[in-house]
Amino acid sequence: MSTENGEPVVRLEDVTKVYTQGKLEVPALRGLSLEVRKGELIAICGPSGSGKTTTLNLIGALDKPTEGSVSVEGQKLGKLSRTALSELRRDRIGFVFQAYNLIPVLTAYENAEVVLALQGQGTARRRKKVMDILAAVGLKGMEHRRPDQLSGGQQQRVAIARAIAADPAVVLADEPTANVDSETAERLLDIMVDLNEQRGVTFIFSTHDPRVMDRARRVVRMVDGRIESDSAEGEG
């Protein structure tokens, strides 16, 4: 774990999540506690049903814990209003989904610009930032292509650009290499590792992919809603 002083970017404290299916209660997380500090590159891994995606959804304020608390930059999500949560997701949390979730009618530039436009940033400022980020993820010259004119790997690069455009506190990447071939997966990982090293972007991956685990600086292994091991423990 990073030794940087101060409040963790993300903190989960004794978090339990139970889903109800009819009369059946299905526990997804069982007393999970986790801290993530600025600049970390973490892979959360484990078998299907271990709680990886649930953990990301709670950090991203897409779901609420049954018990316990989730904080981002010191703000307890359970105490925020719906409006404040929406603003937190927009401004402080970046999302990279395995299905890309790009807007089909918008160009690569426009997709990457969406969050900045929602924030009300000026046109000139948005253009400089988006062009810089698209170049950083290897899409220079492809700014005006729509998603259907891009390969899967290129679409995921647009998704990465969109996720980091607003300088979020943390980027959540749910199985980011799941829908691309091996060569493209390596290129995407190169990009995200470089963004982490050069720009200090904090990444939390949910993954089954050994390549992601190999490139992460910290690996948290989950089984049955609990942390089985954490490579940060005991580091010094």
pLDDT number for residue 107: 97
For 74-121, the pLDDT digits (tens) are 999 999 999 999 999 999 999 998 888 899 999 999 999 999 999 999
Q: What is the pTM of this model?
A: 0.90
What is the phi/psi pair of residue 188, to 5°? -60, -40
Are the C-beta atoms of 157 and 180 separated by less than 8 Å? no
Q: How far is CA 149 from CA 73, 106, 109, 114, in A?
A: 38, 11, 13, 19
19, pLDDT greater than 50: yes
pLDDT number for residue 2: 37
CATH number for 10-101+169-230: choose from 1.10.3720.10, 3.30.465.10, 3.40.50.300, 3.40.50.10440.
3.40.50.300
Q: How far apart are CA 174 and CA 176, in angstroms?
A: 5
pLDDT number for residue 6: 64
Average pLDDT, the chain: 91
- Residue 21 binned pLDDT confidence (cut-offs 50, 70, 90): confident
Are the C-beta atoms of 78 and 64 separated by less than 8 Å? yes
Q: How far apart are CA 189 and CA 22, in angstroms?
A: 40
The dihedral over CA atoms of 84, 71, 42, 189, expressed in degrees to the nearest 10, equals: 0
The full set of domain ranges for the chain reads 10-101+169-230
Residue 92's identity, in one-letter code, is: R
Query: Residue range 212-221: average pLDDT?
Result: 94
pLDDT number for residue 185: 87
Q: Which residues pair with 229 in a beta bridge?
A: 221
pLDDT number for residue 65: 96
Token duo for residue 175: 């199985």
pLDDT number for residue 160: 94
Determine how β-strand 41-45 pairs with β-strand 203-207.
parallel
Q: Which of 29-38, 47-56, 179-188 has the lowest mean pLDDT?
A: 179-188
Closest CA to 187 of 171, 211, 164, 167: 211
pLDDT number for residue 4: 45
